[in-house]
Amino acid sequence: MPQSPMVRTVGIICKHDNPEAYKAAGGLMSWLSGRGIASVIDSHAAGRMKIEGVEAKDIPACSDAIVVLGGDGTLLSVARLIGSRGTPIVGVNLGTLGFLTSVSLSQMLSTMETVVSGQYKVQERMLLTASVRRGGKTVEEHDVLNDMVINKGALARIVEMETYIDDSYVTVFKADGLIINTPTGSTGYCLSAGGPIVHPTMSCIGITPICPHTLTNRPLIIPDTAVLEVALRSGTEDVYLTLDGQVGIQIKCHDIIVAKKSAHKMYFVMSPDDDYYNMLRAKLKWGQS
């Protein structure tokens, strides 16, 4: 992706039913208009603001950059809409933990100043392609920004997952599930499950078992060139593959879940004040008693 392409139209997508997001969107649209920049806003927010909007799914096609006003869940849903387009994202955090929406509301206009002047910098984030093979055929395939999680239902028994990396046998994980994540996703579910924090610009794949039956099963980091295959060996039907915490696919015994680096990337616009380690310290409350 070329560095800092010209921005003529900015898309705006808001967290649903969040008055603070609608207020910020209105202010941003006025600010952009004063600089001769067009804006389009998602129809759900537009309806609440009583202005004209477009369907969220159509915004990436008509925008040179997209501002997401909300939290990480909203941004992950927008990432799915962008797909392979490579439209840069400005993630504005509205008060939640927000590792992905790293621009604060107070930083929004200074960040957008760099965007409209063409002086902005983007940070590339790798994606994973998650696929499900059943009976030798690929029945599902999606790109994910954060993670793909194999997890059991509330009443299911421990899941048995036979795991291979580049066709080399690794082990059978016996656990409540398995998290396969990008570096971006290392501060998501992976972090809660005891996985390592990985700088988001690195190129690697994380594997973290959830409550493993064997306590020596530990998190593993593998190269982004690797292809990971996980064969479900459990007889239970109550097992799912969850993508970025938002898309669920029921998987069956003998299904093979494949994870590999996607050919596509996401691009995050960085705040002029961005400091990843300051962000970690603030959000994880390091050094606070």
CA–CA distance, 256 with 241 (Å, rounded to integer): 11
Query: How do 204-210 and 177-181 pair as beta strands?
Result: antiparallel
- What torsion do the CA atoms of 183, 189, 193, 196 make, to the nearest 10 degrees? 20
| Burial class of residue 85, CB neighbours in 10 A (0-12, 13-18, 19+) | middle
**Which of the residues 72, 143, 176, 255 is marked catalytic?**
72
Cα angle value 152/153/154 (rounded, 5°): 125
* DSSP secondary structure string for all residues of 41-56: EBHHHHHHHTS--B-G
CB 251 within 8 Å of CB 131: no
Distance of CA 138 to the CA centre of its chain: 23
17 tagged catalytic: no
Q: What φ, ψ does residue 136 adopt, rounded to 5°?
A: 85, 0
Where residue 167 falls (left for φ over 0; alpha for ψ -120 to 50; beta otherwise) is left
Instruction: Kindly list the catalytic residues.
Output: 72
